[in-house]
Structure 1
Amino acid sequence: MLKGDTVITELNRLVDAVEDSLSDGLDVARLAASLGTTEYHLRRMFSSLAGMPLSEYVRRRRMTRAATDVVAGDPILDVAVRYGYGSAEAFGRAFRSVHGTRPADVRRHGGPLRSQPQLRFRLTVEGSSAMDTRLTDRPALRLVGHATRVPLVHHGVNPHIQAHIASLPPSEHARLTSLGNGEPAGLLQVSADVDPDYTEGSELTYLHGVALDAATTPPDDLDVIEVPAGTWVVFRSSGPYPAALQETYAASATEWFPSNPWRLRPGPSIVAVLDRAEDFSTATTEVWMPVERA
């Protein structure tokens, strides 16, 4: 169960496993199962708390260790093979992407190097402000509306989503609102097919639409995301938009999940805008995340 100081312990075990497998690859699914959790949840918690995807951390640590071997004088092809690369050229490209220079230059000059220290997670006291949260069991529902593929943006307004919404005529917003008969209520911002590592720039499916109950047939001209029955955690927040919403996402990882016996399960995350300023500078929102017992 990933709970409280246990989540910190298990993430540190993940970091230790990365160190032990830099040369032969890490089976994250097997490790997650041994910890009593899921690969999906483990990757999401790591990326949220570390500020980078697990895959990026592994790449940086591998190239940090490889730089030590290069400086020590090991043949570059031997180092390449040691860390899973089939050629010195492929290794050189990966090395340069992290360190900004070629292995041969590092060997001659000893640097420059951009080392990634080994992470160590520690429990700190948070939660001095209460989070407005509830858990709800919901039957299957249909999310219907207008969908598009967009890159993931961690901070600020996502211009691709903004452009997608702006392309819809006002009459379509009114039509969608009149169609909605499920919960969450109102116009919804739905993110589906999100990379478990939550890598910035990775593609996701964004749907601007509403929720229908399972008995309602959606119009043929709308995109549909079918969502099975299950439990959801709902976080409510108010304040500057989208800053308050993004802070809520961050707090869910740093405060709520480590303190409660729930973990994320695959499925869309949903933002319901309950109220907003005319210029959308501030808003009251609910974030719905699919969860299961840890």
Structure 2
Amino acid sequence: MNVLENLNRALDYIEQNLENEIDEYEIARRAYCSVHHFKRMISYLADISLQEYIRRRRLTLAALELQNSAVKVIDIAIKYGYLSPDAFTRAFQIQHGITPAEMRLTNQSLKAYPQMTFRLSIVGGEPMKFRIENKEAFQVIGITNRVTPIEMGEHPGVEQVWSSTDPNTYAELISLNNVEPFGILHVDVGEGGGRRKGDYNYYFSVASTESCPVKFSRLYVPSMTWVVIEVKVPWEPEKWKQIYGEWFPSSGYEQIEGPTIQVGPEIQVGVEKQVFTEEVEVEYWIPVKKVR
């Protein structure tokens, strides 16, 4: 059974259990991967989280039932996992723009989210340069901030670190870099790293064996296997889909829990906005394990 079939078996399980409690570990078992990796795949390929996808599908089916039956709103709410009609009404209005009662009175158009399916797509065949790196544990030292990601552009919490760092602090940070990977490291820790929804911790940092000065924070990175992918910044959204839609399904690896690290670029500290006049080559490190 190939990777696409496994992923679609997992989506079928979700579809068959929208009226029941959905077990994330059963999803992962059917997809033949970890929960963590499946969530990443969904997030980067569909641009929404797994839980958001499930929520949208449930509210789509709920809306169809409200349109085509006389079943009470409370019964439909309970059927799709809502403990109260108020919670159901709020969620329904967020997705469809009207309440369940208004929908039955006006018969307005609704937002229907169909079941997702993974399909093979033959595209331009753009090459992707990568290597597999087995690296012993190391530490990074730097400046950290809690970040809430946005859809486009640099995340404000990241820019806040860059704009508030003075040149002397930056020079001191660079001087601590005495082991690989060399250069400025942009390290994301948490589910929201990259373009995924959810807050995460960002480290503007370097790899170092030195003691951590008081003004900086330290992050321990355990021994891991990494796929190191060469990319260019500013990032194009299509690059995420190439990594998660093309490289991972064909590689025999899956992503594991751990920080993601972008090596470079160096930035201009103390300014509100970074301006890149041309593309800059960087490395993106993703923690992985071999699964086949």
- Structure 1 length-normalised TM: 0.89
Do the aligned partners of residues 135 and 146 (structure 1) sit closer, same or farther apart at CA in structure 2, a change above 3 Å counting? same
Q: Secondary structure at the match of 2:264?
A: strand
- 8 Å contact from structure 1 (residues 276, 284) kept in 2: no
- 8 Å contact from structure 1 (residues 63, 95) kept in 2: yes
Q: Secondary structure at the match of 2:2?
A: helix
Residue in structure 2 matched with residue 251 of structure 1 by the alignment: 242
Distance in 1, Cα, partners of 2:275 & 2:99: 49
Residue in structure 1 matched with residue 213 of structure 2 by the alignment: 219
Residue in structure 2 matched with residue 24 of structure 1 by the alignment: 20
- 8 Å contact from structure 2 (residues 141, 212) kept in 1: yes
1:37 to 22, 33, 38: 33
Distance in 1, Cα, partners of 2:64 & 2:266: 55
Distance in 1, Cα, partners of 2:181 & 2:21: 41
Do the aligned partners of residues 112 and 212 (structure 1) sit closer, same or farther apart at CA in structure 2, a change above 3 Å counting? same
Deviation at 1:255, TM superposition (A): 1.6
Residue in structure 1 matched with residue 156 of structure 2 by the alignment: 159
1:265 to 256, 259, 273: 256
- 8 Å contact from structure 1 (residues 269, 289) kept in 2: yes
Say yes or no: does 1:52 pair with 2:44. no
Identity within the alignment, %? 33
Do the aligned partners of residues 34 and 237 (structure 1) sit closer, same or farther apart at CA in structure 2, a change above 3 Å counting? closer
Which structure 1 segments of 5+ residues have no match? none
- 8 Å contact from structure 1 (residues 135, 231) kept in 2: yes
Q: Secondary structure at the match of 1:243?
A: coil
Q: For each residue in 1:102-129, what CA deviation from the matched residue of structure 2 results, as whole angstroms up to 9, or x when unmatched?
A: 1011112222211111112111124622
- Structure 2 length-normalised TM: 0.90
**Paired AA for residue 58 in structure 1:** I
Deviation at 1:194, TM superposition (A): 2.2
- 8 Å contact from structure 2 (residues 7, 31) kept in 1: no
The alignment yields a C-alpha RMSD, in angstroms, of 2.2
Say yes or no: does 1:10 pair with 2:3. no
Say yes or no: does 1:136 pair with 2:133. yes
Report how many aligned residue pairs link the two structures: 284
Deviation at 1:196, TM superposition (A): 8.5
Residue in structure 2 matched with residue 104 of structure 1 by the alignment: 101
- 8 Å contact from structure 1 (residues 66, 79) kept in 2: yes
Distance in 2, Cα, partners of 1:90 & 1:274: 45
Moved more, 73-82 or 34-43: 34-43
